[in-house]
Structure 1
């Protein structure tokens, strides 16, 4: 039974990513390079954040709630968004698979370290925390892919407005900051994306909510944001990708 519990947790965690890959245009085109590109970008981003935090910021206790730590979490989210922006800007994958491929790669890289924690599903007694962690991985996958579409939509609009810059880091940072200053439904989605970990931390450390409540709130926020994205940025992004001319950009 312990082996079945472990396999079920692994399946819940990684099967949705595989299904999304095989059932979409990435699988049809056998285009795995954007997935690898997104995964590599995730690991580089996390390494850069760890080095930055270890060098310039003091250590802090994640078991207590403080405004300082929440600012750090917010900063981490902004860095992730900038990394996704850079990956979309540098990727040479076809436009109609670029955002999805990078989003799946980002989600896969985020889920890979969970293998170690899932190994804890092998003890003699059943622990629901492993199933909860697996479902949280699914929620994170959905949010990562959706946010990649949002950033891709904002990037496309920026290029249409004639603000397309070269690949230098300073220009890309300027372009990224400019899209954050543009009021839109997509910007609201990015704000919700940055808010999710802050709400999770508050409920966990201040309210003392249990794991099931945290998962329910996480699912509710991500689904609400995903519906917002589907009705706005995703619709426009898919519409632009349907054009053969645009798809080759």
Structure 2
């Protein structure tokens, strides 16, 4: 029974990645190995982040008693700021691996980045936990959270691609894109504090995370479509 539970968890985790690859431009341009290389960028970025955290932040910053103080809050924000390196890593992955159309660049970077995070951060827990003797819903939570990770990283890569094309955007759109990228970088910290303040359970936390991710995704889609229409209109006018 637990083996079938493991298969179900693996299917819920992997199916969105397979569908994303097969039903987008990724399969059309045979971008599998580029996605793998984007995953390598993820690994390198995480190693750099771990080195920075181990060097500049004491282990006591994770102490709940210290987190409740003003100094602890500042340190938590500083620790969360290290996640801004993810934006740099995704940007470098797009510049080094993506070629041609913009949608190939951010799809390759976002999908490869998310796949590497899920494999290294989630799948190990599923492999050793979902095969356990007792059934536990927390592993299904991990699977659903993996789907949100895929959507979030594709959206983040799209916003980074738009941000890199600032010359084609108004200052208002550029400011909006920059603000959203900052919010997505600090989203784990925001969700943790919301959970402490409101006191909801893990399922409600997944719903809140899902609502935030979908909100950012819809804003990304609207911005991308608007910029594409403007670009096509300018090209057609010329």
Aligned to 2:213: 222
Query: Do the aligned partners of residues 24 and 183 (structure 1) sit closer, same or farther apart at CA in structure 2, a change above 3 Å counting?
Result: closer
Answering whether residue 84 of structure 2 is matched by residue 94 of structure 1, we say no
Unaligned runs of at least 5 residues, structure 1? 162-179
Aligned to 1:176: none
5 Å-filtered alignment, 1:201-216, equals 201-216=192-207
5 Å-filtered alignment, 1:46-125, equals 46-60=46-60, 62=62, 64=64, 65=67, 66-95=72-101, 96-113=103-120, 114-119=122-127, 120-125=129-134
Shift of residue 226 of structure 1? Answer: 0.7
Question: Quick one: distance in 1 between partners of 2:37 and 2:164?
Answer: 18
Unaligned runs of at least 5 residues, structure 2? none
Q: How many residue pairs align between the two structures?
A: 224
Does structure 1 conserve the Cα–Cα contact (< 8 Å) formed by 2:98 and 2:104?
no
Answering whether residue 149 of structure 2 is matched by residue 140 of structure 1, we say yes
Structure that is richer in helix per residue:
2
Query: Do the aligned partners of residues 56 and 200 (structure 1) sit closer, same or farther apart at CA in structure 2, a change above 3 Å counting?
Result: same
Answering whether residue 37 of structure 2 is matched by residue 37 of structure 1, we say yes
5 Å-filtered alignment, 1:124-163, equals 124-158=133-167
The one-character-per-residue Cα deviations of 1:4-53 (angstroms, maximum 9, x if unpaired) are 11111111112111110111111012122331221011000000111111
The one-character-per-residue Cα deviations of 1:72-125 (angstroms, maximum 9, x if unpaired) are 343122111121122223334222311101100000000002121112011222
RMSD: 2.7
The one-character-per-residue Cα deviations of 1:161-220 (angstroms, maximum 9, x if unpaired) are 9xxxxxxxxxxxxxxxxxx99853312321331232122211344544311111111001
Shift of residue 236 of structure 1? Answer: 4.9
Aligned to 1:21: 21
Does structure 2 conserve the Cα–Cα contact (< 8 Å) formed by 1:91 and 1:98?
yes
Does structure 2 conserve the Cα–Cα contact (< 8 Å) formed by 1:107 and 1:140?
yes
Question: Quick one: distance in 1 between partners of 2:99 and 2:85?
Answer: 23
Question: Quick one: distance in 1 between partners of 2:33 and 2:230?
Answer: 22
